[in-house]
Homo-oligomer: A and B are copies of this chain.
């Protein structure tokens, strides 16, 4: 079953149908039993057709048995025809799988402003259905990638009342080696028996500390989607909206989502270093996260990390620019374990050129506001010339 087994009752697969030149471009996730589904979608006003379609389906049904994902074409800015194509894709797949069309969700990622190649898709779907198996997860993970340089899978298992419950997820990143391709997609399967409200609560909560706490270039896609599918086959006592079982489920889901989020950041295009930003001692959690996000998004901070320059002034400035009110004199700034500012004073005058800070593959920025007890973490990466090259001169 490999390192990351599928939860009970799930099958997956992926094939190359011709939307992309060579790499796999179609993936399928299937469950023997109907799943409850919790999902989060982009808040972009220019939502892609499959996002609108999936939102409507889930508002109506709250569940599904299959998710089909294509890469290479985002089916975005494609108007009424795009929506019709998304419905048609779901319908064709439902027929092939012997399901109702309300049991199929669709997702897309790739270029904006082109219609889905329905003929190619129609020819590919039967082969896609044939490809699914209990060993097909890696192929599915490959099928959703656009310009990711490695596949992203993570899994967890834990006991609830003596029954083993599994969580297994795949993701694709915002590594935009080719233009127009900038979508974060993630699909997480579980065999847990869980109420839909608990499922939604867990996904929202886990995403806050993972997918919603990472940044590659600050751009938000039109197709971003995270889905959590639960088919209940583990036979555990039902996880409800409160209590220890939900806590355990959430703990494992959060760890899994953090795994995937970190992989996405590490695979950020042109990125050479992974950045963890920790903000401590804030009055409110939201403030801590906003400051961490402001530091993580700062181009000047990313450049400092790239250059191995412990430029703490940029970190103070980007924290201050977050919009959160705080006393900068109480700030403590520690980079890779070395404190640069504390008690209102410069703590250390380093020879920045000779410093060991920001020199490794993984760097850590810590800001303590010393004004409360709330913390937050944000994941980011540095920016390199390669990013500029990749996103500017795609034809050469």
Contact = CB atoms under 8 A, between A and B. Distances in A.
B309 A46 contact: no
Given A77-B346, A221-B317, 11 more contacts: A46-B320, A112-B313, A113-B316, A179-B313, A182-B317, A220-B320, A300-B391, A304-B391, A306-B388, A306-B392, A309-B394
Interface of A: 43-47, 74, 76-77, 79-80, 111-114, 176, 179-180, 182, 217-222, 297-300, 303-304, 306-307, 309, 311-314, 316-326, 328-329, 331, 340-341, 344-346, 352-353, 383-385, 387-389, 391-395
Contacts of A317: 44, 46, 76, 112, 182, 219-222
A393 B303 CA distance: 8
B45 A314 contact: no
Contacts of A316: 46, 76-77, 112-113, 222
Contact of A46 (B47, B80, B298, B319): B319
A283 to B, nearest CB: 13
Nearest to A297: B218
17 contacts: A45-B319, A46-B316, A46-B319, A46-B331, A111-B313, A113-B340, A179-B313, A180-B313, A217-B299, A218-B299, A219-B299, A220-B320, A220-B321, A304-B391, A352-B395, A383-B388, A385-B389
A264 to B, nearest CB: 17
B220 A392 contact: no
B385 A388 contact: yes
Q: Which of A303, A317, A340 has the most CB of B within 10 A?
A: A317
B391 A299 contact: yes
A45 B383 contact: no
Contacts of A44: 317, 320-321
Given A316-B112, A317-B222, A346-B77, A303 B45 contact: no
